[in-house]
Structure formats: C-alpha cells, structure tokens
C-alpha cells in the first residue's frame, strides 16, 4: 500500500480527482485512490465509502476529509477538502459569470433549458439505478419500496419539509431495520 | 432573467441559517436537500426563479467537481438578484460572492464537522447494531430523495403537455443514463445542442 507523501501531494491529488469528476464521481474516486495511487485497498475503500455515505454532506467531500485526517490529522482533512473544492468552485463561478453575460441570447437559453432537462433525467436515473440495491436490504424489498414510495410522495408531490420526512419516515425505517437486525443476527454475518 | 429583490441583513442571516439547517439533513449528498432548497428559495421567499434554480443545478452538473457546487450557484443567483442583476457591475459581484460564501459555508460547516468527528467513530463501530440499522433503514429514503429531486427539477421544464419535448428529453436522458454507460458529458452536450438549435 502507498500513502500521500505530503500535504501538497494530498491537495493536488484531490484536486486532480475533483477536476475529472463530471457527474460520476464515485467511479473516478475508486480508480484514482485504489487503482492508481493505491492509498486504499478495495476493501478499505468500500468500508470508507459506506461511512462517507451514511454521514450527511457530499459523499466525496466526506471521503476526502476521512483520508486527509487519517494521514495528516485535521490539517490533512482541511487540505484535502480545499483540494476538492477550490478549483472546481472557481470554474463553476466563471461558467456562471460567463453564462450571465449571454443569458439573454436565445440559443444560450435554449441550451440551458436542454441541459436542465437532461440534468433532471440524470438525477432520476441515478435514483433508478440505486433502486436495484434495495433487493439486498434485509428489511425486505417490499418494505423498502413502500418506504421509498412514501418518501417520494411526501417530498415530490406533497412538498412536505425534508426534516419531517426524515424524522418520521426515516426514524421509523431505522427502528424497523434495528428490529429486523436484532431478530436475525446470524443472517447478517459479514460477507 | 432576473428578479430584482431586496435583501436585508436578517434575510442574509436567514439564508445562512437555512443552509446550515439543511446541512445535517443532507444524507446521500447535498442534492437530496435540493427539493427543500427549491421550496425555500423559489416557492416561499421568491429569491430566485425556477429557471435560475434549474440552471444552477445544470451548470454544476456540467462542470467538474462535487455536485454540491450547485449550492454555490444558488447563493450566487440570490446575490445577483439582490444586486438587481449582473448589470450592477462590481456590486453584483460583491453580492454574488456574499451569497456563495453564506450558502457554501452554511451547507458545508455542520456536515464536515460532524463527518470529521463521526468518521473515526463510525469506522471503529461499523459492526454496531445502531450503525447498521441506520445504514439499512436510510437506504430506501435516500434513494427516494434522489428520485424526488429528479422529479422536482423536471418540473422546471414547465407544463408536461405544453412542454412535452422537454419532458421527453428528460425521460430519454434518464433512460440512457440508467441503461447505458455512455459518458454523462455526451448526454449533457446533446441536451445543450438540441436546446441551442431550438428543438426543445
């Protein structure tokens, strides 16, 4: 296994990773950190990713924090975070500023309308892809689909504030999961 | 299109506090709180338009980097509107950057602080019942939130019958992304092209 050589190595590595992340960041993160740099074994990557995912906040940003922290403590976490965000932020602001200057050109408005429609489809597709992962959820596929349907209706159709949805539906789901796990501890042995 | 709005100190504070409060709810990424940002910024406060919301998400998707940067663009647009449009020059930049800083620090600070503290704990206790129950229980909720985000963004297309071509584009891109491994940039590029040509 390898590891970041210095804080600047950490900064530029995460910067490189962020600048390649058009849409599918997870694939880039895995290829760079596991296959190219070998900072993480595939097993470590899967574990870290799971934790990064259950914590609130952007997954890749959480992962950057965790890895930076592991090698260089809090300084490492902040440097990894800065590497991840600095240049992409400048690029996206430059794009927005450039866009604002030409925002009344009909072709540009049309292009943004088209990209907006595509972006909506891309995000919906991400959700559709992930639905398949619920088959392995030990709460049972039916329960999962029912929870997902309730959440979708509450948020997308009824426009209920997120905090209530998370507290009520999310809270019940976690309690139910806990109940299921406690009932069948043997079936949950690590793969 | 810009709507000139007037933001007082209390409003800037409210913007910051709202994004801070969403930060710890952003399980599965900032994008899962996008519906609530839309409800607050567009429906409730009328600080940005539906179009500005949709183009912020689209630009952040088109640009490299974490998608959380759409939050910076939302803040940017609030600032630009508060300065009565980019025509205001330097003050538009100042207001825009103030919006970026408030929304980004708001959305990042609580979650990164928690992530920093909880990551080690979660790593050490990943066999713990509560940790596994949380992971299992939240999975369907997080996925539904992502789907709801797609639905609400598609709402920016307008009425499904009048704007059926945009809705068709959304459905087609969802299908392509779901079923193929085509690079996302090609699909965004295709959307920009058919839009620029005035086909949708």
Q: Which residues pair with B27 in a beta bridge?
A: A56
Domain presence at residue A119: no
Per-residue pLDDT of chain B (200 residues; tens, 9 = 90+): 446 788 888 999 999 999 999 999 887 778 889 999 999 999 999 999 998 898 898 888 778 888 899 999 999 999 989 887 766 678 888 899 999 999 999 999 999 999 888 877 876 787 888 888 887 888 888 889 878 988 988 988 889 999 999 999 999 999 998 888 787 778 888 998 999 999 98
Who has greater pLDDT, B83 or A20?
A: B83
Point out the residue among A24, A88, A166 whose CB comes nearest to the CB of B184: A24
| Mutation site, B45, B139, B193, interface A, largest A CB count within 10 A | B139
Model pLDDT, residue A50: 67
- Put simply, whether B101 touches A (Cβ < 8 Å) is no
Q: Are residues A2 and A76 in the same domain?
A: yes
Count Cα atoms within 13 angstroms, Cβ side, for B195. Answer: 29
Could you tell me if residue A127 is inside a domain? no
| Claim to verify: residue A91 and residue A158 sit in the same structural domain | no
**Best interface-test mutation with A: which of B66, B75, B77, B121 has the largest number of A CBs within 10 A?**
B66
Q: How far apart are CA A139 and CA A178, in angstroms?
A: 9
Q: Looking at residue A148, what is its pLDDT?
A: 95
Whether A11 and A62 share a structural domain:
yes
* Domain assignment of residue A3, given as a range: 1-101
Test the A interface: residue of B143, B179, B193 with most A CBs within 10 Å: B143
Establish if A93 belongs to a structural domain: yes
Q: What's the pLDDT score for residue A190?
A: 47
Residue A147 lies in a domain: yes
Do A1 and A92 share a domain, yes or no? yes
The CA distance from B74 to the nearest CA of chain A, in Å, is 10
The reply to whether A93 and A14 lie within a common domain is yes
Q: Is A9 a member of any domain?
A: yes
Instruction: Assess whether A141 and A58 both reside in one domain.
Output: no
The span from the CA of B65 to the CA of B78, in Å, is 22
Q: Where are the domains of chain B?
A: 9-127
Q: Is the pLDDT at A3 greater than 50, yes or no?
A: yes
pLDDT at position B200, please? Answer: 84
Confidence of residue A83 (pLDDT cuts 50, 70, 90): very high
**Could A114 and B193 be called an inter-chain contact, meaning their C-beta atoms sit closer than 8 Å?**
yes
Determine the pLDDT at residue A189.
Answer: 46
Contact by Cβ (8 Å): B138, A170 = yes
pTM of the model: 0.75
Q: Which residues of A touch B128 (CB under 8 A)?
A: none
- In this prediction, residue A95 has a pLDDT band, given cuts at 50, 70 and 90, of confident
Rounded Cα distance between A182 and B1, Å, is: 55
**What separation in angstroms does the CA of B53 have from each of B36, B47, B58?**
12, 10, 9
Same domain, A4 and A60: yes
For residue B37, what pLDDT is reported? 95
Assigned domain for A65 exists = yes
A40 within a domain of the structure (yes/no): yes
Structure tokens at A151: 């959440």
d(CA A184, CA B134): 16
Secondary structure class of B47 (helix, strand, coil): coil
Q: Is B90 on the interface with A (CB under 8 A)?
A: no
Domain count, chain A: 2
Residues 57-86 of A with CB under 8 A from B: 57-62, 65-66, 69, 74, 77, 81, 84-85
A94 and A141 together in one domain: no
pLDDT value, residue A22: 62
Report chain B residues whose CB lies below 8 A from the CB of A58: 26, 29-30, 66-68, 111
Report yes or no on A5 lying in a domain: yes
Indicate yes or no: CB of A61 within 8 angstroms of CB of B126: no
**What band does A191 get if pLDDT is binned at 50, 70 and 90?**
very low
Interface membership of B8 toward A (CB under 8 Å): no
- The answer to whether the CB of A176 falls within 8 A of the CB of A143 is yes
Nearest C-alpha neighbor of B51 from the set A48, A157, A115:
A115
Looking at residue B41, its pLDDT comes to 95
Q: Where are the alpha helices (DSSP H) in A21-58?
A: 25-30, 42-54
Q: Does B157 touch chain A (CB under 8 A)?
A: yes
């Amino acid at each position: 296994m390898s590891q970041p050589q210095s804080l600047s190595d950490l900064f530029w590595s995460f910067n490189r990773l962020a600048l390649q992340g058009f849409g599918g960041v997870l694939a880039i993160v895995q290829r760079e950190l596991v296959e190219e740099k070998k900072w993480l074994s595939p097993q470590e990557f899967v574990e870290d990713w799971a934790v990064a995912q259950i914590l609130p906040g952007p997954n890749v940003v959480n992962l950057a924090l965790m890895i930076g922290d592991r090698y260089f403590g809090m300084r490492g976490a902040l440097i990894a975070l800065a590497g991840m965000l600095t240049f992409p932020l400048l690029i996206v602001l430059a794009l927005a500023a450039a866009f604002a200057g030409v925002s009344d050109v009909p072709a540009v408005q049309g292009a943004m309308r088209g990209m907006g429609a595509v972006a909506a489809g891309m995000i919906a597709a991400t959700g559709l892809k992930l639905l398949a992962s619920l088959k392995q959820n030990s709460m049972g596929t039916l329960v999962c689909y029912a929870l997902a349907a309730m959440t979708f209706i509450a948020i997308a159709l009824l426009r209920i504030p997120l905090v209530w949805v998370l507290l009520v539906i999310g809270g019940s789901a976690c309690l139910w999961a806990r109940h299921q796990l406690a009932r069948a501890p043997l079936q949950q042995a690590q793969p | 299109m810009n709507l000139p709005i007037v933001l007082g100190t209390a409003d800037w504070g409210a913007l910051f506090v709202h994004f801070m409060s969403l930060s710890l709810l952003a399980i599965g990424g900032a994008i899962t709180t996008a519906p609530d940002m839309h409800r607050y910024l567009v429906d409730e406060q009328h600080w940005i338009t539906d179009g500005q919301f949709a183009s912020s998400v689209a630009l952040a998707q088109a640009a490299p980097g974490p998608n959380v940067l759409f939050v910076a663009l939302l803040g940017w647009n609030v600032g630009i509107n508060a300065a009565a449009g980019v025509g205001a020059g330097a003050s538009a930049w100042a207001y825009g950057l103030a919006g970026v800083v408030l929304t980004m620090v708001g959305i990042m600070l609580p979650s990164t602080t928690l992530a920093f503290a909880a990551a080690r704990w979660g790593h050490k206790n990943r066999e713990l019942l509560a940790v596994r129950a949380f992971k299992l229980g939240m999975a369907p909720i997080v996925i539904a939130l992502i789907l709801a985000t797609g639905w609400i963004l598609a709402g920016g297309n307008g009425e499904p019958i009048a704007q059926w071509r945009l809705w068709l584009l959304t459905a087609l891109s969802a299908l392509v992304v779901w079923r193929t491994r085509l690079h996302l940039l090609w699909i965004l590029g295709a959307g920009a092209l058919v839009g620029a040509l005035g086909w949708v």
